[in-house]
Amino acid sequence: MRVGIPREIKIHEYRVGATPEGVRELVAHGHQVLVEQGAGAAIGLDDAQYRAAGAEIVGTAAELFARAELIVKVKEPQPQEYPLLRPQQLLFTYLHLAAEPALAQRLCDAGVTAIAYETVTASDGGLPLLAPMSEVAGRMAIQAGAACLEKPRGGAGVLLAGVPGVAPAKVVILGAGVVGTNAAAMALGMGAQVTVLNRSVARMRRIDERFGGRVQTRHATAAAVEALVLDADLVVGAVLEPGAAAPKLVPRAWLARMRPGSVLVDVAIDQGGCFESSRPTTHADPSYLLDGIVHYCVANMPGAVARTASFALSQATLPFVLALADQGGAQALANDPHLAHGLNVQDGRIVHPAVARALGKP
């Protein structure tokens, strides 16, 4: 199969869909790999490394999309890439279609078979292709939040760890999945006072066991969320309903009652955001102030640590890329029900139930 690795063009997106090691594996399986010129340059992976791994370097995205049967990306196609998509082409990437109705329609119109990393499942019920980026995003959420608490960024001027005689910041994390757990680890390591809210007692128990009781856990009732958010210095939105739009857990009306200069970091922004006042931002302009509250809502947070993120993502996606290339899309999807859960668009239709519900489609 001809596998294409394009250069990412979303603003400040420096990740790449496959590393030279992944390319070498594909070539060893007998596949032809096309890599767009400069695809990995931003993270120190030059064309010579890809060429040494067996890839053919192509000069333009247009040529790559025209020749490749399987496109392996990091982020969803951008508007300038829409015309390059063609019927029966396999697209394997993050899509987050619940928050992107226009993209969903363009994928249907193009006739591609679109498989989303974020809805591929594992035998334990996890999301193996979302997990590595969720680990990165959870840790980055605390770094970003700590910076936003600084006065020059619009924050209250609070140091996350405090100092002797001065209390540490209060960090509230909504969600105890991969993002929430990694955010809790980072915040605790930086010396903050950390509380995690979740509706699952089993997940709260795992948090308690992992951190030896040093992280407080609360059942995520509406009353508990309100009380803790209003008293927090930093709130991390880490909720996820696979394929579906994120629930709005913090109404805009609460902003006026929160601590002035406190910070909301919405890691769920790819799925529409879990704060009513959230809107997507970029690494070029990552935060904004609304009603005295700093909002950080970057839709591709791991792109800022692109080298780490690319290697983490590539090692997770490679087995699935090999399956698609070795067996062909239809057979690979038929053989692996977990990969089949990643199927979002096929034959001009939305085929993932949660995505369809979120978009109001059959």
Confirm whether 96 is a catalytic residue: yes
Between the two ends of the chain, the Cα-to-Cα distance in Å is: 32
- At residue 174, φ and ψ (nearest 5 deg) are -95, 100
Single-letter amino acid code for the residue at 96: H
Beta strands, E only, the chain: 2-5, 32-36, 56-58, 70-72, 90-93, 113-116, 170-174, 193-198, 216-219, 234-237, 263-266, 287-290, 293-296, 343-346, 349-350
Given the residues 31, 96, 295, 352, the one annotated as active site: 96
**Residue whose entry in the numeric block shows the structure tokens 């006026």:** 256
Confirm whether 336 is a catalytic residue: no
| Nearest alpha-carbon partner for 34 in 73, 2, 60, 8 | 2
Given the residues 233, 266, 270, 336, the one annotated as active site: 270
- At residue 61, φ and ψ (nearest 5 deg) are -65, -35
- Give the catalytic positions in this structure: 96, 270
